[in-house]
Structure 1
Amino acid sequence: MKRVIVVGAGQAGASCVARLRSKGFDGQITLIGEEPVPPYQRPPLSKAYLLGEMARDRLYLRPESFYAEQNITLKLGTAVTAIDAMAQTLTLADEVLNYDDLVLTTGSTPRRLPAAIGGDLDGVMVVRGLNDVDAMAPRFTKGARVLIVGGGYIGLEAAAVAAKLGLNVTLVEMADRILQRVAAPETSAFFRHLHSAHGVDLREGVGLDHLTGDGGRVTGAVLGDGSTVAVDFVLVGVGIMPNTNLADAAGLRLENGIATDAQGRTSDPHIWAAGDCASFPWKGQQLRLESVGNAIDQAECVADNILGHARAYDAKPWFWSDQYDVKLQIAGLNTGYDHIVTRSGDTGVVSHWYYAGDQLLAIDAMNDPRAYMVGKRLIEMGKSPAPEAVRNTDTDLKELLKA
């Protein structure tokens, strides 16, 4: 009987094992996760769950009973210590498992502040797992002072939750503007205004020099411009790193994560990878996407290929972010854009369309699901409407799909 082991019980791992069973795989399936809880959604952690609007069991992707019903062995609270690619075995704390196919969905780890600048002080926290959010939730009390380091989506979402709960929020971003790495100046400006209107003290072009503490607990911060901020706790949102240690030790090729071919297979023919930890060929590079959509689609593609379908992964990048009463929806990748077309609507809805010459690359839509859906379909179809038509609010967006 064929044995498939999936290491990493997040969105990608859960999607892979479910797909294998739904497509008729009748061999042994084992899903291994380091956390002691079944696979769960991460996006609501720092939003609905932290706000108390979502119960823990609603985070779970599937009821725990699903895995037993599908004859999937779930090993939770379990770390894999080594992979022996030659022997096709995994070493756990107390046993060795054999596999025919191994899937690495090991995810990513948040970057932390160095201890040399106070990163090891009590009250300096990251937002990634259920334990992280459970630990920080009691600190989210009205009037508490929080410093958020990093003006990407993680930092901005945390700032929105904190401001809604009545905390005093200071956010620092070392780059010239928030979202500089991922979005156009127009989108940055939209969210700068949004956060400022909700009382966030947003400081761009200002880095963190070091944190100060008393009795091992963080109490303040000295910023790069010499100013100081008194704080009760600090949230760090300065990016993530793919978890590649196991793959590296097993001798797999790494390139911007665990490098795979178009089908999701690593440099070892019996080992596959998907999700945040994995990169795949895309327009001459090894692209790695950090998104729920990618985790699901890539993992399902790997499951299909374990079953022999030889299907190339066709990435359709899409992302979202919820901040206050604004839903940002993003389709495509804006790498290489040279100009922005803005389409404004009633009641504050707006979308920014990224073009490289005449080619539409991506769209950021704020509270504009129609623009998002049309833009996403246009990008997937390889169509690029004239910028003038996009900008003109008299244009029926759906007509652009027919052109």
Structure 2
Amino acid sequence: MSSKSGTFVIVGGGLAGAKAAEALRDKDFDGDVVLFAAEEHLPYERPPLSKEYLAGKKKLGDFTAEPEPWYRDHHIDVRLGTPVSAIDPRGHVVRLPDDSTVHYDKLLLATGSSPRRPPIPGADAERVHYLRTIDDADALDRALAEAGSLAIVGGGWIGLEVAAEARRRGLDVTVVEAAELPLLGALGREVAEVFAKLHRDHGVDLRVGASVEEITTAEGAATGLRLGDGSTVEADVVLVAVGAAPNTELAKAAALAMAPDGGVLVDSSLRTSDPDVYAAGDIASARHPLFDAHVRTEHWANALKQPAFAAAGMLGQPTEYAELPYFFTDQYDLGMEYVGYAPDYDRVVFRGDVDGREFVAFWLDGDSRVLAGMNVNVWDVLDDVKALVRSRKPVDADKLADPQQPLNTLI
């Protein structure tokens, strides 16, 4: 089979799936491309669901990856509402729920992730919401429009973004987080404290170090929360936002190698342990050449950028995914971008006005190398922050903290 012919199958109808189809055609692949999407919607971006879409600032068409005519014009066989039930690497086929099969020469898994559902009573009651799909967002929007109060289980990105929108609408909002601070695992204590203060300043009742024993109900519908200390939170609507789990069931059943972080183990070309199967997006635990580690992040940037590298690999072209992990958020008057990878760091250096929420934060290791940086309401430094991370060189922390010292002079 020529690398420019045959049948390439994409399993997953999110942004990563759409970008993979685009990349294959951009790289002049003229074979068959079949994209299986479990949802009935064309692939779309997910960050707006808890941001601009929920706020009524964007419509679905604004963040749909490509309109229907594009798939038709580029001869992409998109099968909406069609989940894949199994893959058979030995037979090079995917199996569908009706037990039919589709042959592939190369396969890309881009199955994304699903909201974690905690094993607590009431988690499946009416007026309990999870947020992953456009249909989830529509249901949550309708519920918030009729509610006076919202309780959120989990102080991660989704929970805090929805909290900000609910406060904008005037709802009473309570966020219950098991850790000592919201976003503690993602950002560390120094910066997590910034987000805790942000939400308290905007009237959120933030309960940290707290467990949820039960989502209380009446007549099958949620009425609030009962916490581990015996206290209760009354709420018209409950959002459960305790993180996401990668959808790796197909990969596990196909005996593909898995990473300790729960993702599908891939090399820097995004190839799995099977040479004809690749993985991208939320599920991919990819070998990162800069950090010399396998990195898996559930963020938009991976779904946007990884597929082009996976497509190159599927076409037999040498490729290496070395983009820095990146994510962003918008909450109230705070907008930020984070770039880098700092699971273990020695200290955080701030540059600018932290109390005024206009600053840059840098995560440093014990050798004073910048592992990651985050710009908060400062919009002209991202490239310099990336360069500092990529340099892997020690920096003078005092100069790093000095706003009068140009960042590009520290590289």
Pair in the same fold by TM > 0.5? yes
Aligned partner of 1:132 in structure 2 is 136
Q: Does 1:97 align with 2:102?
A: yes
Match of 2:296 among 284, 288, 293: 288
Which sections of structure 1, spanning at least 5 residues, go unmatched? none
Identify if the C-alpha distance between structure 1 residues 143 and 78 changes in structure 2 by more than 3 Å, giving closer, same or farther.
closer
User: What is the CA distance between 1:348 and its match in structure 2?
Assistant: 3.9
Distance in 2 (CA, whole Å) between partners of 1:138 and 1:390 is: 46
Contact 1:117 1:211 in 2 (8 A): yes
Contact 2:216 2:225 in 1 (8 A): yes
Which sections of structure 2, spanning at least 5 residues, go unmatched? none
Aligned partner of 1:262 in structure 2 is 268
Aligned partner of 2:345 in structure 1 is 337
User: Quick one: which amino acid aligns to residue 363 of structure 1?
Assistant: G
Aligned partner of 1:46 in structure 2 is 50
Identify if the C-alpha distance between structure 1 residues 352 and 267 changes in structure 2 by more than 3 Å, giving closer, same or farther.
same
Counterpart secondary structure, 2:383: helix
Contact 1:142 1:167 in 2 (8 A): no
Contact 2:116 2:243 in 1 (8 A): yes
User: What is the CA distance between 1:22 and its match in structure 2?
Assistant: 0.5
Counterpart secondary structure, 2:330: strand
Match of 2:170 among 146, 151, 166: 166
Aligned partner of 2:206 in structure 1 is 202
Cα-Cα RMSD: 1.6
For 1:116-155, list aligned pairs within 5 A.
116-141=120-145, 144-155=148-159
Aligned partner of 2:384 in structure 1 is 374
For 1:57-76, list aligned pairs within 5 A.
57-76=61-80
Normalising by structure 1, we get a TM-score of 0.95
User: Quick one: which amino acid aligns to residue 138 of structure 1?
Assistant: R
Aligned partner of 1:324 in structure 2 is 332
Aligned partner of 2:20 in structure 1 is 16
Single out whichever of 257-266 and 39-48 deviates more from structure 2.
257-266
User: Quick one: which amino acid aligns to residue 316 of structure 1?
Assistant: L
Distance in 2 (CA, whole Å) between partners of 1:329 and 1:43 is: 13
Identify if the C-alpha distance between structure 1 residues 324 and 127 changes in structure 2 by more than 3 Å, giving closer, same or farther.
same
Contact 2:258 2:265 in 1 (8 A): yes
Single out whichever of 93-102 and 341-350 deviates more from structure 2.
341-350
Contact 2:34 2:78 in 1 (8 A): yes
Contact 1:141 1:166 in 2 (8 A): no
Identity of aligned residues (%): 38
Q: Does 1:219 align with 2:223?
A: yes
Q: Residues 255-296 of structure 1: CA distance to partner in whole angstroms, max 9, x if unpaired? A: 221111221111111111111011122455432111111122
Distance in 2 (CA, whole Å) between partners of 1:272 and 1:15 is: 14
Aligned partner of 1:108 in structure 2 is 113
User: What is the CA distance between 1:141 and its match in structure 2?
Assistant: 2.7
Provide the aligned length of Structure 1 versus Structure 2: 400
Aligned partner of 2:408 in structure 1 is 398
Distance in 2 (CA, whole Å) between partners of 1:169 and 1:240 is: 22
Normalising by structure 2, we get a TM-score of 0.93
User: What is the CA distance between 1:149 and its match in structure 2?
Assistant: 0.8
For 1:184-199, list aligned pairs within 5 A.
184-199=188-203
User: What is the CA distance between 1:385 and its match in structure 2?
Assistant: 2.8
Aligned partner of 2:322 in structure 1 is 314
Counterpart secondary structure, 1:369: coil
Q: Which runs of 4+ in 1 moved over 6 A?
A: none
Q: Residues 142-176 of structure 1: CA distance to partner in whole angstroms, max 9, x if unpaired? A: 76211011111111111111111111100011111
Distance in 1 (CA, whole Å) between partners of 2:105 and 2:258 is: 22
Q: Residues 180-237 of structure 1: CA distance to partner in whole angstroms, max 9, x if unpaired? A: 1011322112111211121111111112121111111011211122211111111111
